[in-house]
Structure 1
Amino acid sequence: MGYHLLALTAVCGEFPAGLMGRLPGSESYKSTVIWMLKKEKLLRTYYQDGLRGYRLGRRAKRLLLEEEPERFAFHLTGKGDTNMLKSEVRRRLRLHRIAGSYVAMGNAGVAVFRDEKPHVFAEGEARAPCPEGAAFYSSREVKEMGIDTVKIRSSRMTGVLLAPSGVFLVYNGGPCGAKWDYRAEQRAQTFLKMVLCCQRLPDRYGGMEVSGLLFGDGLEPFSSILTDGDSQTRCFFLLDGNYGHFYYLTNDHHGDVLLRLLCDAGRNAELDRILMQGLHERDGGLTVENDAMDENGDPVLFGYFLDIPRINRFCTALQLQDRRGTIICFDFQKEALSHLCGGQVELSAISFEKFERRFFP
């Protein structure tokens, strides 16, 4: 546990104190680990402007660089934000959001450390080896490509997830939701599709679309995106057709498990097969998006990933055509969806507990 916390702090720059609850172990055990690391001057608390986080001590930096330079040199040398730490709230909040993405990825079994994954974004590489499984690359690792990444400088993404199931630009809005710069995010999507799907990893991702993945604290930010119009959340970026798929996962255990499912095409297909029992095959010619049709000929959408544009297209089409339909979701998502879909949509809930017990025992 002690090493794991130091390693995460090294790659994040500053590890938010509030994220300790997302790491394995009891609260008393983790408190003891932090106390011991601070006593050994390996970790220190940094508190300013209401933000509390943990930063590496000089001794910890030296030990990590000496023992595992391949894993930590990128993060603990040079002038990057993870090494040259700042005190500005804006920069610290960004480090905290990136840390949240790292924790979710690690909890889902995604490779996050540099010695566990190929350097897909290394400067000058024409082709790159594919990660064996799923791998997460922080926005700073993406910018390792050099001058070309000036095109994505203003993007709010925390990184890129490369999984057997696809390419995902990752964002973490925390409790407040993300603020979108329409043009910057559009450039990031276009640029990374060209780099990954056409140039560096065409054997795996050629012909595929780039998807989005947004983490948030609870389901309120998800609801806001679909109900607030173009006001505070600038949700038009997610709803106007830029992305075919943009998934919303919560920053908690639910999100960690669903991230594992998102990365595992086999388990995902198995879940869909189970959900198809009692339903008819999808109608590809229907103007309402659907994954299946029920016995009454009404469309059914598998909405358990909270795919923002897809749910929006489904509900909008039902309203325009004055039809009824069903969204299948997990029980913890049902309340949030019930406020969005109106009386034309019936919600069918899956027990998350039973799902996890079967798919990820």
Structure 2
Amino acid sequence: MTALSGECSPDILSRLGIGPSYGEKLVTKLKDEGLLKTHYKDRLRGYRLACGGKKLLLAQNPERFSFYLSGNTETNHPRSGYPRRLRLQQASHIYAMLLNAGITFFRDEKPLIFREEPQAGESVRMPLPIFYHSREVKELGTEAVKIGNSRIMGILFAPGCIYALFHTGTAPIKWEYQTELRVKTFLSHHISRGILSRGSIEPCYHPDTPIRLLFIGSGMDTALKLMESTGGFQKSYFCLDSSFDYFHYVPDDAAGETTLRLLCSPALQKALRSLLLSDLEPPCPDYGLEHDAVSEGMPVLLAFDFDMLRLSRFRTALSFHGLAGNLVCFDFQKPVLQQYFGDAAAIETIDLYKFERRFLH
């Protein structure tokens, strides 16, 4: 994680199943051997590779690490400014989530589609789901300049859809509508006419493949801040807009890792939806609002994927039509949705532990 991100958050140790006592001993040992060092500034502590650590990783697996540990890259020579360091540490959190969710991201385990042209007649298979950091996307060269100012952390390719992945931390992220809209335009271009439309890459995405935004943030309380944000002074921070058609949110914790696995698996989503809808009535077009089912005369919205834009539309429609609704979500999502909907919707929950036992084990 330290090599890939440039500076690793100390919190990552627990995310990787390393206990506090053993983690402290492990870090001390790596420091004593000249492989790791601590960087502390502006009350932000992080771990960086020492020269010995870089040499060791480059010697053991150059295909995996040379991109990150060679030249004047930000991961090889991290800067000391707080915003840049925070972004590097957020990247380490993302990599930990991807690892625990079983998503491919190491460079020696995936095709480098943004750098290498497939040979004539050669077929390159993408082991979906698969993640490319924004720095890897920039290997396209001048074409990637179009999204150079975006806050995007990377692109997550999943079966049937593509996620533009952002880390928002504990508060709404800085946001410029036109800049982030270019990310969607950039991906749409490559789906229809660019690298993702080539017959030599499998699977190819069709032109109408959904491009979704996926926020990762610190806890579910951050989701409420995002949904209620108006953009702040001068509209320089995130608020729900039309730059993307979907705005999903997952917390930066174990529950978020499970949700991430679900979002990357159409088969899992279909199975869960079928189970939840089995005891409900079909949607009623007379309600004049978006919903998935009807229960005791009230519209029901399945909210386990936590699409903030869809949730916002549902709340607005309930208020406009003077209706009460039902939400179905995971248990860890309920407190935030209770605050957001108030008395406008009753909430039924899916036990996350039981879901994992039934669908993931």
Whether these two folds match at TM > 0.5 is: yes
What is the CA–CA distance in structure 2 between the aligned matches of 1:224 and 1:232, rounded to whole Å? 15
Deviation at 1:295, TM superposition (A): 3.6
Deviation at 1:96, TM superposition (A): 1.2
Aligned to 2:279: 278
Task: Please tell me the residue identity of whatever aligns with 2:177.
Answer: Y
Aligned to 1:117: 110
Contact 1:120-1:128 at 8 Å conserved across structures: no
Aligned to 2:334: 334
Alignment of 1:50-61 (within 5 A): 50-61=43-54
Alignment of 1:3-22 (within 5 A): 8-22=1-15
Task: Please tell me the residue identity of whatever aligns with 1:129.
Answer: V
Deviation at 1:315, TM superposition (A): 0.9
Unaligned runs of 5+ in 2: 198-202
Alignment of 1:168-317 (within 5 A): 168-202=163-197, 204-206=204-206, 207-231=208-232, 239-283=240-284, 287-296=288-297, 298-317=298-317
- Deviates further, 152-161 or 87-96: 87-96
What is the CA–CA distance in structure 2 between the aligned matches of 1:244 and 1:340, rounded to whole Å? 20
Aligned to 1:5: none
Contact 1:124-1:145 at 8 Å conserved across structures: no
Structure 1 counterpart SS, 2:156: strand
How has the CA–CA distance of structure 1 residues 287 and 234 changed in structure 2, closer, same or farther, with 3 Å as cutoff?
farther
1:154 aligns with 2:149: yes
What is the CA–CA distance in structure 2 between the aligned matches of 1:284 and 1:243, rounded to whole Å? 25
Residue of 16, 27, 37 corresponding to 1:23 = 16
Residue of 97, 100, 107 corresponding to 1:104 = 97
Unaligned runs of 5+ in 1: 1-7
- Deviates further, 225-234 or 328-337: 225-234
- Deviates further, 237-246 or 141-150: 237-246
What is the CA–CA distance in structure 1 between the aligned matches of 2:124 and 2:63, rounded to whole Å? 18
How has the CA–CA distance of structure 1 residues 285 and 253 changed in structure 2, closer, same or farther, with 3 Å as cutoff?
same
Deviation at 1:286, TM superposition (A): 5.4
Task: Please tell me the residue identity of whatever aligns with 1:220.
Answer: D
Aligned to 2:322: 322
What is the CA–CA distance in structure 2 between the aligned matches of 1:17 and 1:308, rounded to whole Å? 30
Contact 2:151-2:166 at 8 Å conserved across structures: yes
TM-score, normalised by the number of residues in structure 2: 0.91
Structure 1 counterpart SS, 2:223: helix
Deviation at 1:232, TM superposition (A): 6.2
Task: Please tell me the residue identity of whatever aligns with 1:358.
Answer: R
1:49 aligns with 2:50: no
Root-mean-square deviation over aligned CA pairs? 2.2
- Deviates further, 73-82 or 13-22: 13-22
How has the CA–CA distance of structure 1 residues 154 and 125 changed in structure 2, closer, same or farther, with 3 Å as cutoff?
farther
Task: Please tell me the residue identity of whatever aligns with 1:256.
Answer: E
Contact 1:161-1:167 at 8 Å conserved across structures: yes
How has the CA–CA distance of structure 1 residues 69 and 47 changed in structure 2, closer, same or farther, with 3 Å as cutoff?
same
User: Per-residue displacement from partner, 1:86-137 (whole Å, max 9, x unpaired)?
Assistant: 1111211111122221111111111111011111211667998342221111
TM-score, normalised by the number of residues in structure 1: 0.91
Structure 2 counterpart SS, 1:280: coil
How has the CA–CA distance of structure 1 residues 280 and 210 changed in structure 2, closer, same or farther, with 3 Å as cutoff?
same
1:62 aligns with 2:41: no
Contact 1:130-1:204 at 8 Å conserved across structures: no
Structure 1 counterpart SS, 2:278: coil
Aligned to 1:36: 29
Task: Please tell me the residue identity of whatever aligns with 1:356.
Answer: E
User: Per-residue displacement from partner, 1:306-359 (whole Å, max 9, x unpaired)?
Assistant: 111010111111111112211101111111111111322111111112112212
What is the CA–CA distance in structure 1 between the aligned matches of 2:189 and 2:328, rounded to whole Å? 34
What is the CA–CA distance in structure 2 between the aligned matches of 1:230 and 1:74, rounded to whole Å? 36
Structure 2 counterpart SS, 1:293: strand
Task: Please tell me the residue identity of whatever aligns with 2:249.
Answer: Y
- Deviates further, 197-206 or 144-153: 197-206
1:133 aligns with 2:154: no
Contact 2:171-2:226 at 8 Å conserved across structures: no
What is the CA–CA distance in structure 2 between the aligned matches of 1:335 and 1:232, rounded to whole Å? 28
Aligned to 2:351: 351
Aligned residues with identical type, % of pairs = 37
How has the CA–CA distance of structure 1 residues 197 and 34 changed in structure 2, closer, same or farther, with 3 Å as cutoff?
farther
Structure 2 counterpart SS, 1:358: helix
- Deviates further, 278-287 or 211-220: 278-287
Aligned to 2:200: none
What is the CA–CA distance in structure 1 between the aligned matches of 2:240 and 2:310, rounded to whole Å? 9
How has the CA–CA distance of structure 1 residues 235 and 215 changed in structure 2, closer, same or farther, with 3 Å as cutoff?
farther
1:72 aligns with 2:58: no
Aligned to 1:3: none
Contact 2:114-2:139 at 8 Å conserved across structures: yes
What is the CA–CA distance in structure 2 between the aligned matches of 1:198 and 1:301, rounded to whole Å? 36
User: Per-residue displacement from partner, 1:266-318 (whole Å, max 9, x unpaired)?
Assistant: 1111111110121123356853111222241x321110121110101111111
User: Per-residue displacement from partner, 1:170-203 (whole Å, max 9, x unpaired)?
Assistant: 0011122322121111111211221245422235
What is the CA–CA distance in structure 1 between the aligned matches of 2:210 and 2:40, rounded to whole Å? 42
Residue of 74, 81, 96 corresponding to 2:74 = 81
Contact 2:318-2:324 at 8 Å conserved across structures: yes
Contact 1:225-1:235 at 8 Å conserved across structures: no
